[in-house]
């Protein structure tokens, strides 16, 4: 029987805000490790999703949406995303069919500076009214950059994920198994608890308020005798008015955030939890390097 060489590598998933990167990662892994929301710039951290097979281990890195950021906080997120390009073995560049966006040209400029192989993923092709537009679109993009391949996909419907894996495995170098086979991510449980709470805020609170929120898990106590995990988390906002909106009339909004988050956290952890939430004002935390460090966000120094 032929002994195949084991392959492994890091695959960066990059694209403009709301291109569908987190949805794709969740579909590839078959479980949710990256939060999603209809609003752009939901992802703030690099999140590694690990797919282990008999012959390879693929570490997909979900990144914040890349755009020309106007403030220090978002510049840090974009730098986080851009830094993965040269550190990866393969780059998956995600666009939408109607992708004439300045962000995509900005990403292409950065891709031209590296030698890493790039696969173009045209996402949301199920939304194309005229399927005859797909081939000309692929030809147009192939003229703009030397992509190793171009794959039409629908991340939401998991269409094209096997095609992605086939192409990625071809480009993987020989390497070790970086993580144990049962690992699905490199992030601790506390991180995902905070992310799931933040996701519910994106879904339940309108306007721009979710962008001013940082969630910090302050207590995570396992109580085996009660088959329970006790969790307390602080929802940090920048202004008093935002605190009132997060709490809602009679505490209704905060209660609903807690209810929805608790249900999903219990599914994620596989046990019952007690979830206590409180809202704290941390004035202009997105401009405060000390607060950014405390909340685990990248800063430019």
**Per residue in 93-146, pLDDT tens?**
999 987 666 788 888 888 898 899 999 999 999 888 788 888 999 999 999 999
- Superfamily of chain region 7-171: P-loop containing nucleotide triphosphate hydrolases (3.40.50.300)
Give CA angle at 69 (113, 297), nearest 5°.
95
Categorise residue 30: left if φ over 0, alpha if ψ from -120 to 50, beta otherwise: left
Where exactly does CATH 3.40.50.300 map onto the chain?
7-171
| Residue 20 half-sphere exposure toward CB, CA atoms < 13 A | 24
CB-CB contact of 46 with 61 (8 Å): yes
Q: What is the CATH number of domain 189-294?
A: 3.30.300.20
CB-count burial class (<10 Å; 0-12, 13-18, 19+) for 140: exposed
- Average pLDDT along the chain: 86
Per-residue pLDDT tens digits for 131-190:
888 899 999 999 999 999 999 999 999 999 999 999 999 999 999 999 999 888 888 888
Three-class SS state of 167 = helix
Give the integer Cα–Cα distance in Å for 145 and 148: 9
**Delimiting residues of CATH 3.30.300.20 domain(s) in the chain:** 189-294
Whether 73 shows a pLDDT value over 50: the answer reads yes
Do the beta carbons of residue 140 and residue 55 sit within 8 Å? no
Euclidean distance between CA atoms 291 and 288, whole angstroms: 5
- Say what percent of the chain tops pLDDT 90: 49
**What whole-number percentage of the chain has pLDDT above 70?**
87
Alpha-carbon gap, residue 111 to 84, rounded angstroms: 11
What does the alpha-carbon distance between residue 81 and residue 288 come to, in Å, rounded to a whole number?
A: 21
- Residue 92: strand, helix, or coil: strand
């Amino acid at each position: 029987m032929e002994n195949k060489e084991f392959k492994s590598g890091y695959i960066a998933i990059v694209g403009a805000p709301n291109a569908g990167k987190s949805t794709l990662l969740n579909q590839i892994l078959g479980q949710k490790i990256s939060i999603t929301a209809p609003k752009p710039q939901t992802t703030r951290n690099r999140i590694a999703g690990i797919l282990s097979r008999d012959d390879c281990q693929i570490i997909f890195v979900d990144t914040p949406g890349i755009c020309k950021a106007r403030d220090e906080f978002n510049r840090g997120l974009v730098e986080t995303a851009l830094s993965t390009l040269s550190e990866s073995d393969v780059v998956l560049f995600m666009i939408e069919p109607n992708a004439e966006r300045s962000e995509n040209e900005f990403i292409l400029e950065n891709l031209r500076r590296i030698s890493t192989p790039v696969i173009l993923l045209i996402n949301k092709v199920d939304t194309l009214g005229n399927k005859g537009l797909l081939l000309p679109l692929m030809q147009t993009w192939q003229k703009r950059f030397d992509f190793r391949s171009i794959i039409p996909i629908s991340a939401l419907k998991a269409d094209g994920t096997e095609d992605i894996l086939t192409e990625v495995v071809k480009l993987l170098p020989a390497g070790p198994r970086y993580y144990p086979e049962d690992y699905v991510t490199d992030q601790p449980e506390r991180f995902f608890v905070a992310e799931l709470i933040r996701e519910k805020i994106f879904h339940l609170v309108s306007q721009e308020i979710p962008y001013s929120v940082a969630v910090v898990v302050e207590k995570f106590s396992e109580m085996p005798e009660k088959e329970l995990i006790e969790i307390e988390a602080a929802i940090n906002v920048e202004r008093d008015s935002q605190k009132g909106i997060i709490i809602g009339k009679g505490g209704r909004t905060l209660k609903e955030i807690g209810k929805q988050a608790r249900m999903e956290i219990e599914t994620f952890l596989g046990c019952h939890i007690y979830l206590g939430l409180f809202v704290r004002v941390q004035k202009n935390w997105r401009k405060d390097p000390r607060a950014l460090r405390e909340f685990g966000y990248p800063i430019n120094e």
